[in-house]
Structure 1
């Protein structure tokens, strides 16, 4: 049975994208005030990750969070940043096997999460 207190993959994506949006608006506001134009540097993803840093995620929520951050990066971030997130994912899966982590999530969440993990090369 799914824990009603747990955030769904969709809710986690919405939360991260909300932070991403807030950061982008701040960048535009700053650029408008200063007359500068900034190039893409991934700041939005770092900002979203920072905003959620102290969120008490369950292991499956933490996995979903980290996977979605990698999806947003789309291979554009420095290798060290991506490697750190991939290592975090490996630690989560080492502590509890993936099949155990996903056993109580909905089929839609499983499909979305596993597809994203496959795109990222996280599945063997």
Structure 2
């Protein structure tokens, strides 16, 4: 059984490596060792959009957490926290994101929220941080 109170915070663990990868990419591009382009304002915009997405997610997370705690009392059954439940949840969440991403490129209402991610003129690692703050309003998650 997985201990439900000691899940690793994988996002927090990944942040230093992601920042290091951005800095290495910047250095490689600036020294001519790799193709690509970086513009300071564009990279800062991506960083600020990523920060805004995290803040909006935290605010929504608090509301969602309390709503889910309330809904928990109405559950039909409890799956537990076995490794198989974790694997199934991981695969289902990956499928959920794949379907969302396909819809985001095909449905205008959702594209309006997703287009920010594609708005940079430069394709580099910092562009991955360009996430919308408005997913709540387009009913995507």
Common fold: TM-score over 0.5: no
Bigger CA radius of gyration: 2
Q: TM-score, normalised by structure 1?
A: 0.32
TM-score by length of 2: 0.29
Q: Which has the higher contact order (CA 8 A, sep 6+)?
A: 2
